[in-house]
Amino acid sequence: MNERKTENIVRKHFQKFSMIKIEEQKSDNPKINKLLRNASKKGNGPGYPEFIITFKNDSDFIIVVECKSSIKKHVSPEGNKYSEFAVDGVKLYGSYLTKEFNVLAIAVSGEKISEIKVSHFLFLKNSSDAIPIFSNKLIDPDSYLTGFKHSPQKFSYDYEKLLIFSKELNETLHAHKVKESQRSLLISGILIALENKAFKKSYKDHTKPKDLANMLVQTVSLELKNANLNNEKLDNLNTAYSFIRTHTSLSSQPEVLKTIVDDIDNNVNDFIKTYKYFDVLGQFYIEFLSYANSDTGLGIVLTPPHITELFSLLAGVNKNSIVCDNCSGTGGFLISAMNKMIEDAKGDLKKVKIIKEKQLIGVEWQDDIFALACSNMFIHQDGKSNIIHGDCFDPKVISLVKNFKPNIGFLNPPYRTKKTDIEELEFVLNNLESLQVSGTCIALVPISCAIAQKGESYELKKKILENHTLEAVLSMPDDLFANSNVGVVTCIIIFTAHKPHNQNKETFFGYWKDDGLVKTKNKGRIDANKRWDGIKAKWLDTFTNRRALPGQSVLRCVSAEDEWCAEAYLETDYSKITEEDFILNIKNYVLFKNLQTR
């Protein structure tokens, strides 16, 4: 057997690509050599991988390759025969290099191209986990780099870093007395300004903070003007950002604004460029509200990003959808929908242009959040988005929305905090009435709206069913809004517009209480155990195929008089009841009876 033959296969595969540098055994990069100094496969001395591949335009990502001539020496059962097996050895190298780099570890065995075995493992920086990735064949470096950047693991890693940074930035802005309501606007303004090459190149050169503040606001105004926004919208946005010019810390204290711009450029800009259709500003807004949640008095609760994506999947959003959100907030639903629509356009740039200009409609009443929504869509390369500044109940606004002929409606309405507030189902009805016949409306509302059997919510349930069909109600996790420090329990309600509810119609009820996310001390509620993708697939399967599963979902004919929630109709899945469950319930019952007799 001749290992040089295996190495030659790998060498020939990679040497035709100019975007990479290929080194063998050692690297010119002292940082790499230092990390491999104690990585010997035999446990003493430096490690010498067959190939070390670096990217000319991405210094944080490297590829390390280990070869073996025999496919029998591809991987050992124990995984610790580092000098004998390709997978074992390359994982060892990856575990050392991950202290400073994101590493793709490739194991190759076999002497002929027709028979070689290839395994890929991703090591994210500062992580010891070897994550299987890619297929069982060698591919081009650009595909490796793109696949790495868009992998779910990389997103989770970057998203967690973003959450940590948002908390640090929140502390910084609080220390400099930037109001909660202004913080997200400041971030959005900086992100817009950084789109301007002249600003990005020169902002560090400003020695006077007032000059930098003025330049920032001027650049934002210029970028928005170049996006061909109408004069009224442009005036509103210029007013929203004007506070930056006069804010004491931002415009007069040395280095404060410059440092914030620099931090945003380094920690947020790359994230946005990589994950184009993620509501970053919404995430910052959630963090800023959770610090001093003054806006909960206005019922503002932003939808978590995995739920905005779920809405698009439930509605079957595609390139021909026209999506309306009459309570758009920062635009999270619209950004998620835009992602699915552009994905479905499959590179048709003419269609993508139409999607951005004519197929996304939002309505927002509050000035500062309207500015955020507009800037958010601009940051996501959609400067002409149809975000309407106004009251969704205004007949003129309703007429404007209807002119677009939306066939999908999304909303997370403001939640009532006092009796004089508008009832949540009023917003749902408003959305439904703006849709085309047979359009789909999906809303996230407090469970109290769905189970109401008297009062205003009950009357609205009756009114809705007179003209629209209740397709599904999905009970959401109790702590869904933990990141916003809001404890309201919610459900997703799905309607078909302008088709009166048939009393013989079976509605789907899902008990979707466990989305796999967990609350963590420093990062909030996240998918720490990587369960969401599997749960999401199962939920979509049961909903799409209307599967009735014990303890999870049920089909029932209901009217306005009934409770619209799975809990009222679910059958118990006795197969999942353990002895511990039985003992705990007996103890709780005995305690309850004892308390009653006292």
Q: What is the pLDDT of residues 234-288, one digit of tens each?
A: 888 889 899 999 999 999 999 999 999 999 998 888 788 778 777 777 778 777 7
pTM higher than the cut 0.75: yes
Question: Roughly what angle, to the nearest 10 degrees, separates helices 180-193 and 231-241?
Answer: 120
Q: What is the C-alpha to C-alpha distance for residues 416 and 457, in angstroms, rounded to an integer?
A: 12
- The full set of domain ranges for the chain reads 3-149, 155-273, 304-572
Separation of first and last alpha carbons in the chain? 84
Homologous superfamily (CATH) of 304-572 is Vaccinia Virus protein VP39 (3.40.50.150)
Q: What is the tens place of the pLDDT at every residue in 372-410?
A: 888 888 877 654 568 899 999 999 999 999 999 999 999
Average pLDDT, whole number, for the chain? 89
HSE (side-chain half, CA atoms, 13 Å) at 389: 18
Number of CB atoms found within 10 A of residue 42's CB: 8
Q: Which residues contact 359 (CB under 8 A, 6 or more apart)?
A: 321, 322, 323, 341, 404
Q: What is the C-alpha to C-alpha distance for residues 486 and 303, in angstroms, rounded to an integer?
A: 12
Which residue did the predictor score with more confidence, 1 or 441? 441
Fold of 3-149: Trna Endonuclease; Chain: A, domain 1 (3.40.1350)
pLDDT recorded at residue 384: 55
Could you give the angle at the alpha carbon of 314 between the alpha carbons of 313 and 319, nearest 5°?
50
Helices (H), 176-230: 180-193, 197-202, 209-226
> Partners of 117 in the beta sheet?
109
Q: What is the tens place of the pLDDT at every residue in 323-364?
A: 999 999 888 899 999 999 999 999 898 998 899 889 999 999
The pLDDT of 304-326, averaged and rounded, is 96
Question: Roughly what angle, to the nearest 10 degrees, separates helices 332-345 and 349-358?
Answer: 160
pLDDT recorded at residue 296: 43
Q: What is the tens place of the pLDDT at every residue in 533-587?
A: 999 999 999 999 999 999 999 999 999 999 999 999 998 665 666 777 677 778 7
